[in-house]
């Protein structure tokens, strides 16, 4: 774990790191911390290494460390980690990321500090662009980024960061609890508090990015007493701005929990929060929250249920929301109870286990990255279920020879082919509801060998729309990419046109990336295929298509899955594609079904007669010289729907409608 902040400086980053370390120890994992050191020779309180650091100007409690990459790499090499966890990385985290890359290690970057917003708040507008560029560069290189809330994820994606998952923060519901409320504490801290006065509290760092000067809007609010818990560079100026407030300094442990539970209302004005841990602690304490409607609070506060979100920057709205709760004790109790219930399941144990799952996903993604011959943006994702249960009843497959099923002769009459789309249709039919109408799953396959993307747009999509499907698969583009000259961007743009037309009709679209065998000759095309696939991933995000990222399935590159003609899949390859597509579509137990199917099949595709040169290569060259393709004069094998029954395993069970 490489962290930009650690003990003795206690903040949200340090607190999260300590909680993660505790969880890793409970689960039997070994952890080693690399953190900025404070003072010469001062060791960390946990197994790890402190690196030389300097205090940040205007905020000396924050230390900046930038050891040489080689130095960090030596530390990693000595510990031999499985994964590198970067806690709120920026300077030290960047060095550690480069060190992890040099050693071939996966990395998980936890986005916890909005550095861009901080530079703006500290009056450094020119530094904001530099900070944004660095955040983008760092998180694009990390194997996986974890954002604490949806707003932070959108911010990162807006910067061009891919592979962003949500990982929130846990809260100690035992320490932070309503039973900690202490009227004696209230009387001691705010001695002039009248019986009916309402204590409005803030807990956190006193710094410009927290926008605490906005709390001046609460001055002269009848019956309201403001209490500020925390310390930082803005304390002196805030004491002048808020002369009626009680400033208690930094509190920790049970003393902090008592203060939190003794508030009547918790207020949080900062607009640059990626999460808002103190908001969760207030909620666990049964205290309603008034927070700005931007950033992390959007995921934590349910406005009019357990608190209020006010319009960002609107001081009058902030005052009105606090006044609303200050004047209604019954509403405060109801909001507080709802808040306590909302955070009951957000334990550090559950969040720790979720983090371990993210580590596992980062390992999978790292394996995919290492298998790719070309690095093009954006990167592949781990294929995951797109929906919870497939409910489609009309499925149409579009594409070229791969979707037509060439070379998949498993259990088919001579001259006929099955293909991954036929197999997927059977899986979807079998996964559908049983009982009356269960057999009414309809499937059409409009794919034709040698077709290019212009044929998809001009021929296949119009014919598909006439069938009014609710699911369409699109796997096409390889025939465009193997041409001597090709504009990859233009080809992808045509695919997007097709996908948008299908989506506008109301159909779901399963969009597949293209792939190559692991042969030396195929390496010439690798960069084109990677660039095209990168654009397909972006198209899937923009159009809401379900992506089956076949480029991210390393097994498909294995030559043993490719037929004797070297350009099509054999039956085993089609089975793999079908089950990965089923997994992306949320077919229950698709992975287990794939293993069972494989166990029941011996891939006995007979060897094709003749040599590859005479049988496949020379005819292809002859057709190209004559301006012809193998698909000339070939009609789709299923131009109209066929019905598929849940138990129908082969083409013999398909009945033409």
193 located within any domain:
yes
Q: What's the whole-model pTM score? A: 0.79
Q: How far is 114 from 98, CA to CA, in rounded Å? A: 21
Number of domains in the chain: 3
332 located within any domain:
yes
CATH number at residue 9: 3.40.50.2000
Q: How far is 490 from 492, CA to CA, in rounded Å? A: 5
**Residue (of 425, 427, 459) closest to 443 by Cα position:** 425
When pLDDT is cut at 50, 70 and 90, the band that residue 656 belongs to is: very low
Q: What is the pLDDT of residues 324-370, one digit of tens each?
A: 999 999 999 999 999 999 998 888 999 999 999 999 999 999 999 98
Q: Is 18 helix (H, G, I), strand (E, B) or coil?
A: helix
User: Is the domain of 185 the same as that of 68?
Assistant: no
Whether residue 76 is predicted with pLDDT greater than 50 in this model: the reply is yes
**Residue (of 649, 639, 656, 635) closest to 425 by Cα position:** 649
Task: Find the farthest-apart pair of alpha carbons in the chain and give their distance in angstroms, rounded.
Answer: 99
CATH number at residue 547: 3.40.50.1110
User: Is the domain of 321 the same as that of 443?
Assistant: no
Q: How far is 120 from 300, CA to CA, in rounded Å? A: 25
363 located within any domain:
no
CB distance 92 to 51 below 8 Å: yes
First CA to last CA across the chain, in angstroms? 61
Q: How far is 587 from 80, CA to CA, in rounded Å? A: 38
User: Is the domain of 408 the same as that of 312?
Assistant: no
Both structure tokens of 36: 């900025």
Using a 10 angstrom Cβ sphere, with 0-12 exposed, 13-18 middle and 19 or more buried, the burial of residue 146 is: buried
User: Is the domain of 404 the same as that of 528?
Assistant: yes
CB distance 433 to 472 below 8 Å: no
320 located within any domain:
yes
When pLDDT is cut at 50, 70 and 90, the band that residue 652 belongs to is: very low
User: Is the domain of 151 the same as that of 236?
Assistant: no
Q: What is the pLDDT of residues 31-74, one digit of tens each?
A: 999 999 876 656 788 899 999 988 877 667 778 899 999 999 99
User: Is the domain of 330 the same as that of 198?
Assistant: yes
In what side-by-side order are the strands of the sheet with 307-310? 246-249, 224-229, 198-203, 265-268, 289-292, 307-310
- For the ranges 60-64, 220-224, 383-387, the maximum mean pLDDT occurs at 220-224
Domain span at 24: 2-166
Whether residue 83 is predicted with pLDDT greater than 80 in this model: the reply is yes
User: Is the domain of 146 the same as that of 220?
Assistant: no
142 located within any domain:
yes
């Amino acid at each position: 774990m490489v962290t930009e902040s650690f003990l003795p400086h206690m903040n949200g980053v340090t607190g999260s790191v300590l909680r993660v370390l505790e969880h890793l120890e409970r689960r039997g994992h070994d952890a080693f911390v690399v953190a900025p050191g404070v003072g010469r020779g001062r060791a960390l309180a946990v197994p790890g290494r402190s690196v030389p650091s300097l205090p940040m100007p205007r905020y000396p409690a924050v230390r900046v460390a930038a050891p040489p990459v080689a130095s960090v790499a030596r530390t990693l090499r000595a510990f031999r980690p499985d994964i590198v966890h970067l806690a709120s990385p920026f300077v030290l985290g960047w060095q550690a990321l480069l060190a992890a890359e040099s050693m071939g290690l996966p990395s998980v970057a936890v986005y916890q500090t909005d550095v861009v917003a901080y530079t703006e708040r500290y009056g450094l507008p020119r530094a904001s662009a530099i900070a944004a560029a660095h955040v983008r560069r760092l998180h694009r290189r990390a194997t996986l980024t974890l954002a604490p809330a949806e707003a932070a994820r959108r911010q990162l994606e807006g910067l061009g960061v891919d592979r962003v998952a949500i990982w929130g923060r846990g809260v100690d519901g035992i320490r932070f609890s309503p039973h900690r409320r202490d009227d004696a504490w209230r009387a001691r801290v705010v001695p002039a508090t009248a019986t009916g006065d309402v204590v409005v509290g803030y807990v956190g760092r006193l710094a410009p990015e927290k926008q605490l000067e906005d709390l001046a809007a609460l001055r002269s609010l009848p019956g309201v007493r403001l209490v500020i818990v925390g310390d930082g560079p803005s304390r002196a100026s805030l004491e002048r701005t808020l002369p009626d407030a009680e400033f208690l300094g930094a509190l920790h442990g049970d003393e902090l929990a008592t203060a939190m539970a003794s508030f009547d209302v918790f207020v949080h004005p900062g607009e640059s929060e990626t999460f808002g841990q103190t908001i969760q602690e207030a909620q666990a304490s049964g205290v309603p929250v008034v927070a700005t409607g931007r950033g992390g609070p959007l995921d934590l506060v349910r406005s009019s249920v357990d608190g209020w979100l006010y319009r960002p920057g609107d001081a009058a709205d902030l005052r009105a929301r606090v006044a609303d709760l200050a004047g209604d004790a019954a509403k405060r109790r109801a909001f507080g109870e709802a808040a306590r219930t909302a955070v009951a399941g957000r334990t550090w144990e559950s969040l720790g286990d979720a983090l371990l799952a993210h580590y596992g996903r980062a390992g999978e993604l790292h394996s995919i990255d290492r298998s790719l011959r070309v690095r093009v943006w954006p990167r592949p994702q781990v294929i995951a279920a797109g929906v919870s249960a497939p409910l489609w009843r009309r499925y149409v497959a579009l594409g070229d020879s791969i979707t037509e099923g060439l070379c998949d002769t498993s259990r088919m009459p001579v001259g006929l082919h099955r293909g991954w789309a036929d197999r997927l249709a059977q899986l979807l039919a079998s996964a559908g509801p049983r009982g009356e109408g269960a057999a009414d799953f309809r499937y059409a396959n409009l794919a034709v060998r040698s077709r290019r993307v212009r044929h998809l747009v001009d021929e296949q999509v119009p014919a598909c729309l006439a069938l009014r499907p609710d699911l369409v698969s699109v796997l096409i583009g390889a025939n465009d990419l193997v041409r001597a000259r090709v504009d990859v961007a233009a080809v992808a743009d045509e695919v997007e046109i097709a996908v948008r037309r299908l989506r506008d009709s109301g159909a779901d679209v399963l969009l597949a990336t293209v792939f190559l065998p692991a042969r030396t000759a195929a390496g010439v095309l690798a960069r084109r295929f990677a660039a095209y696939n990168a654009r397909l991933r972006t198209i899937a995000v923009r159009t809401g298509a379900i992506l089956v990222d076949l480029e991210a399935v390393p097994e498909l590159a294995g030559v043993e899955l490719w037929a004797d003609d070297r350009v099509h899949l054999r039956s085993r390859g089609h089975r793999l594609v079908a089950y990965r597509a089923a997994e992306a579509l949320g077919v229950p137990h698709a992975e287990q079904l794939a293993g069972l199917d494989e166990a029941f099949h011996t891939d006995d595709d007979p060897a094709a007669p003749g040599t590859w040169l005479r049988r496949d290569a020379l005819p292809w060259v002859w057709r190209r010289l004559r301006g012809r393709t193998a698909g000339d004069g070939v009609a789709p094998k299923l131009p109209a729907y066929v019905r598929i029954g849940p138990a129908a395993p082969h083409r013999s069970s398909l009945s033409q409608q």
